[in-house]
Each structure stands twice: as structure tokens, then as C-alpha cells.
Amino acid sequence: MTVCSISLNINILSNIRIQDKDYTSVFAYYSLESIMATEERSFKTQDFTVPSNGTGETIQVRISEPNLTSENLGLETWAASHILASQLHHIGPKIQFPAPSSDVLPILELGAGTGLVGVTAATLWKQPVVLTDLAPLVPALDANIDLNSEGLRTANTHMEAGTLDWKHPTTLIVKDQQQPQTQAHVIFAADTIYSEEHPELLANVILKWLVKDKEARFIIAYPLRVCYIDYIREMWERLEEGGMEAFEEGREEASQDLFNDERLVEWSVWRWKDI
């Protein structure tokens, strides 16, 4: 069961929760980097079934999760990611993407974790995706992109992984290079709010990075943890104060066969209100 904890320092590249620990401080970030650099890692690979349309057809997304055994840690795919990925088949057809020649990034995922949501979006929506998370997790994201390369080729699209500093969200770094895109058309965030600093940080990133377009969307999912409800409420308030509105939302329960706890998940789709 996840412990409701508050990180004391929030100088982060993104955020990551590994089992019952919040890795959001600079200290923890470098500790995690050290662990991942020295650990003799094992990996669990799992195929997630995701709906591809409303008639029962599905796709398989293969996800590898590194197990950091010496520290009793494991990078997991959380229920919120699977629920959000499972909603994309009916959200996608409602979004009109910019022309490929546009300098706007089609899809950006924040706190991507294992990348399930972004891989699903790239495959179903046939749009380029950039996954972002802490720098030590980028190799794991790259590995999951490679695991799904056949589906990406079939969709005639591509993916990359990089970092975006939430506290100073001005620069997207992919493959150690600053990217020219300054905004995104669609932004995903799944299970990224579990500290008192996160609502402000996440809202600020969204308000800066989501392009001012009537078709632009922010799509978020989060488990309904009682201890984090106030954080969710604050995020909503900050987005609304920034000129956005949630126009579609729902609740789903994740499969008990796949997830042990935190299975009740709420999701919502946001847009600019007065454009």
C-alpha cells in the first residue's frame, strides 16, 4: 500500500515514485542515479492489453520494468497509466493535430515512468511522442520504445525520451540536446501528484508547455487516494485560474489481476477555455 508522504525538497527534473518512496529531491535523484548505475539489474517484461477501438479490438504494449533488487525497489507501471492508456482509443479521434510541418511537439508525456501511456498514444494516434522523466530513467524509457518498435513502424511514427525540469520548465533535453520545440499540442500526466509541491509545479508546466490552440489538450489520470485529494483539488484550481477547463472526465477501476491496490482512477481532459 502506498504511503502518503511529503517530499521535503523539490529540486527535480521530473518526479518518480518507486514502490513506497518518493524520489523528488536532488539528494534522492542522485541516490537513484547511483543505484541504477551500480545495481546488477533484472527486468520484468509484461504485455499490457489496451483497447484500440470501441468494438473490442486491442493492441499489446510490451513494457520492461527494471527491478533494483539490492535496494528492494522496482520501477512499476501503475494503475493510473493503464487506465489512461485504455481511454486513448476514444479520446484520440476527437483531437485535431497540427500539420507535420508545425514546430509544435504533437505529444509530450510528463513523469512517463515506464512509458505505457506514451507508447499507446504513438501507436494508436500515429503521432510522434516525447516521453520525459528523471535522467536515470531515460534508458529504461528508450528500452521500452525499442520493445515496441514494430508497432511504431506500423503506425509510421517515432518516439524519443528525455528530461524536462519541472521547476525551471524552459528546456526539453533529448539525447543531450536542447529541443527547438517550445510547446506541445497534447500533454499526458499519469499518477504525477503525490506531494504538496506537485500541484503548483505540474500546473506551471502545463500552462507553459501546452500550446494556445483550441484543439490542444492536457490529459491526466490519478488514483483516488484520500490523502492526496487536496493536492488534486489544488491542481484543478490552478489550471482553472490559468484559463483552462476540464470538459471530459470519468472514473475507472483497474483490473485486480494486474494491480493490487490504488485501482480506482479518475481521468480528465482539459482545454483552453476562451480560445
Domain ranges of the chain: 16-272
Q: Is the dihedral of CA 18, 148, 101, 272 positive or negative?
A: negative
Q: Looking at residue 4, what is its pLDDT?
A: 59
Look at residue 7 in the predicted model and tell me its pLDDT: 33
- Cα Rg, the chain, nearest whole Å: 17
pLDDT at 61: 98
Q: What is the pTM of this model?
A: 0.84
pLDDT tens per residue, range 73-118: 447 898 999 999 999 999 999 999 998 888 899 999 999 999 999 9
The H-or-E segment that residue 154 falls in is helix 149-154
12 Cβ contact partners less than 8 Å away, ≥ 6 residues apart: 24, 25, 26, 29, 134, 165, 166, 167, 201
CA distance 209 to 204: 9
- The type of residue at 236 is W
Q: Which triple of cell numbers denotes residue 42?
A: 533484472
Residue 203 belongs to what H/E stretch?
Answer: helix 198-209
Superfamily of domain 16-272: Vaccinia Virus protein VP39 (3.40.50.150)
SS3 91: helix
Residue 73, pLDDT score: 40
Shortest CA distance to 271 belongs to which of 104, 96, 90, 133? Answer: 96
Q: How far is CA 225 from the centre of its chain?
A: 18
pLDDT-flagged residues of the chain (< 50): 1-3, 5-32, 34-35, 37-40, 68-74
